[in-house]
Structure 1
Amino acid sequence: MTIIQLRLVFLVLGTAVPSAWSNYYIPYLDSVPMPRPIPFSMASYSKIMPIASGSRSSQQCGQCKLQSYFTENDIQTDAKLNTLELIAKYGFPSENHIIQTADGYKLSLHRMPRPGAKPVLLVHGLMSSSACWVQLGPSLGLAYLLYLKGFDVWMLNTRGNIYSRDHVRGRIPDSEYWDFSYHEIGTHDLPAAVDAIIQKTNQQQIQYIGHSQGSTAFFVMSSEKPQYANKISLMQSLSPTVYLEHNRSPVLKFLSVFNGGFALLIELLGGHQISLTTSLIKKFSKHICSLSVVTSRICAIFDFILCGFNWQGFNQTLSPIIEGHSSQGASAKQILHYAQQQGQQTFQRYDYGKVLNLLRYKAAYPPQYNLSQVNSKVQLYSGSGDWIGSFADATRLQNLLPNCIGNTQVASEGFSHYDFTISNDIRSLVYDQVMGQCQNN
């Protein structure tokens, strides 16, 4: 291990760095500008989420509750409810389907059923779950909005999150259970979900919307199993984290330095499953939290420390809901796979190092994913404040896809990675276009 790598270890673990190394400077640790937060106001409880007037499809919802605001009790309650309980609270129908992958993981596939309607599959991002599509209620939750537009809505929970922890072999060692990255999600989880939906609905094709890792895994699936790209009539990618050449995440930059140091990286992340109290939280929280908000629990959530947070687009009165549905589970290997790609012009399988690569891949370097196989229509969306899903990297992806129909940069300064699911203005900024594309394809 080099001196600079050891210095980074001392830095993260909070121990003193030998004075002889004091001339080594890690420039990116202080390179991310600090956003200015929106002031917190208790008065804003009364008018948080205005509801659009009901359409014919919303009138068909029966018991749906399209309330025009969140009360304080709503916020505290919704923070504790699971996905199906949230859907039930607001009067929408729901189902839970358990599907099994080819390698033995049992996944929970949530549905807001509308039999006979066009099915659309929503796949959450890194460290998230199906709750991200419903947590902000019928006014802003994409699952509700699509259902009210007449779609049959399905929400996958990928392996390792709180809804998809079971395995056909029962409890297996952590080192074995958590030995996956977005590659296995793309090659096993997504095909199982697509097949289950097509079988249940008797439809030949479905639509797909992925956020963050939900996008990454789609492009893995379509590259590795191109027959599944033919089953997707339209894919919409919210923050297409495929190329990370222009990554701005300090955490990913830090982890990328430890190429090959897997054991040390596992320790830094708190184990094979990412720890909720990893030491990286304390060391990197300053990049999203100024002194004025440092006491917010948002500052202690690894999801946002890894990918960034936009206080300008977020109403802090909703913090308990966001906190309650964050950090839903992920493997350290998922993070490390992304870290391997930061600053690179590659989209490839997990890099085990030259020796193990030769054993696994019969080559010193991991195989590249073949994006020319992605025959589905693809619409891309990115934000100017997204640390790991830049417009420049989305444009590179656009140029390599055979059927990309659009590449939209969200018209909001500082729009960040998780704004795609928690922004106050997400409907007008993104979801209206997303729903329009769904209806037109």
Structure 2
Amino acid sequence: MSWVVNSPSESLAFVLADNGFDVWIANARGTRFSSKHSSLDPTRPEYWNWSWDELAAYDLPATVDFVHGQTGQKLHYVGHSMGTLVALASFSQNKVVDKLRSAALLSPVAYLSHMTTLLGMLAAKAFVGEMTTLAGIAEFNPKGRDVAEFLKALCSDPAVDCYDLITSITGKNCCLNASTVGFFLKNEPQPTATKNMVHLAQTVRDGVLSKYDYGTPHFNMAHYGQPRPPVYNLTAIPNDFPIFLSYGGQDALADPHDVGTLLDDLKLHNLDKLTIQFVKDFAHADFIMGITAKDIVYNAMLAFFKRQ
């Protein structure tokens, strides 16, 4: 949904198609577009036993393999927000880069230590605080009763304006169309695993990009053979892999300070393979719903793709 909520002349999926690209749009597991499973049922907790670790290790590689198998061509990958986190984690383990021509990362999320969204910070504290609020709830469905109660509790903080949910989560976007936002909120956010939310909260808390922390050295040893979760080494992303990275000065989720930490990981990247764009007025949602995104970001992305 994220890539087609604006008019055809403004939505990235249509812009790419109009410029001669075949466009394949993937859905994260657990969303209403991707809720089936070969053996597990979404009503069972086992179905939701995953975080973005699994998206990076299995889902993104399977998606890329499928499209590559259908087309016989290498892909240009575009990700926004968690789509960049999953991609970077996957790239760092050399999972999919051999089947990609390049990657465009919009509002890249790798580190979250400087996140300034108050709603996000309150949620992160709740999620790493033993998860008593949502104990036993495997599915984090923002439109479900249990999660609604959880969000209502967060919104009771007088500093959080939940009447302007987009701004409370993403920062002050400059260029959104009100009707588009309304349409977006009817369809988003989609369900995910509570474990995924906990993992994101751990990233906020710990300041490093690592695999899911099972909470004790004993449990981590059982899963990883070491007391602490393994860290994703983003410096392992091949230096000659073409990356287009665009981030915003008003982004409360992908804060410029955290993007700076990511760019530090990429400091040895070949200069002719890394294109960095900073958009001073953009916040997190402007990159997918902003009415000026085509002129400012997508046209630059298209030029980058054509150079590859």
Could you tell me the TM-score, scaled by structure 2's length? 0.87
Relative contact order higher in (CA < 8 Å, ≥ 6 apart): 2
- The Cα offsets for residues 328-384 of structure 1, whole Å up to 9 and x where unpaired, read as 222222222111121543110111112311211122211001223322222211112
Q: Give 1:232's match in structure 2, choosing from 100, 122, 125.
A: 100
Structure 2 unaligned spans of 5+: none
Are residue 325 (structure 1) and residue 178 (structure 2) matched? Answer: no
1: distance between equivalents of 2:26 and 2:235? 26
> What RMSD over aligned residues (CA atoms) do the two structures have, in Å?
2.5
Query: For residues 264-343 of structure 1, what are the structure 2 equivalents within 5 Å?
Result: 264-267=132-135, 272-276=139-143, 277-281=148-152, 283-284=154-155, 289=161, 294=163, 299=165, 304=166, 307-310=169-172, 312-342=174-204
Aligned match for 2:18, one of 133, 148, 152: 148
- 2:185, 2:22 → 1: CA distance? 28
One-letter amino acid of the structure 1 residue matched with residue 304 of structure 2: Q
Give the CA deviation at 1:172: 5.3
Deviation at 1:312, TM superposition (A): 3.9
Partner Cα separation in structure 1 for residue 65 and residue 120 of structure 2: 34
Instruction: Pick the structure with greater CA Rg.
Output: 1
Partners of 2:58 and 2:168 lie apart in 1 by 26
User: 1:407-437 CA distances to partner (integer Å, 9 max, x unpaired)?
Assistant: 221132xx22112111121112211111211
Instruction: State the number of aligned residues.
Output: 296
The answer to whether the 8 Å contact 2:77/2:102 transfers is: yes
Structure 2 CA distance for partners of 1:165 and 1:327, relative to 1, 3 Å: same
CA distance in structure 2 between the partners assigned to 1:272 and 1:306 by the alignment: 23
Structure 1 alignment gaps of length 5 or more:
1-130
Task: String of CA shifts for 1:278-304, please: whole Å, max 9, x gaps.
Answer: 4324633865648xxx4xxx54xxxx3
Query: Which 10-residue stretch deviates more, 305-314 or 370-379?
Result: 305-314
Match of 1:380 in 2: 245
**2:98 and 2:251 mapped to 1: Cα distance?**
30
Classify 1:313/1:267 alpha carbon distance in 2 versus 1 (closer, same or farther; 3 Å): farther
- Deviation digits for residues 236-287 of structure 1 (CA, Å, limit 9, x no counterpart): 110111011211132343344457644415349x653233224324633865
Q: Aligned with 1:342: secondary structure?
A: helix
After TM superposition, give the deviation of residue 395 of structure 1 in Å: 2.1
The aligned residue for residue 283 of structure 2 is 416
Quickly say closer, same or farther: Cα 1:356–1:252, change in 2 above 3 A: farther
Q: Matches of 2:36 and 2:127 in 1, distance apart? A: 31
Runs of 4+ in 1 over 6 A off after TM superposition: none
Summarize the Cα distance change of 1:305–1:177 in structure 2 as closer, same or farther, 3 Å threshold: farther
Return closer, same or farther for 1:287/1:191 CA change in 2, 3 Å cut-off. farther
CA distance in 1, matches of 2:160, 2:279: 21
Secondary structure of residue in 1 paired with 2:297: helix
2:91/2:237 contact within 8 Å kept: yes
CA distance in 1, matches of 2:44, 2:117: 27
Find the counterpart in structure 2 of residue 217 from structure 1: 86
SS at match of 1:160: coil
Task: State, as a whole percentage, how many aligned pairs show the same letter.
Answer: 26
> Which of 386, 392, 397 does residue 262 from structure 2 map onto?
397
* Cα distance, 1:222 vs structure 2: 1.6
Question: Deviations along 1:314-334, whole A, 9 cap, x unmatched?
Answer: 222334322222122222222
Cα 1:424–1:249 shift into 2, 3 Å:
same
TM-score, structure 1 length as denominator?
A: 0.62
Q: Which AA in structure 2 matches 1:385?
A: Q
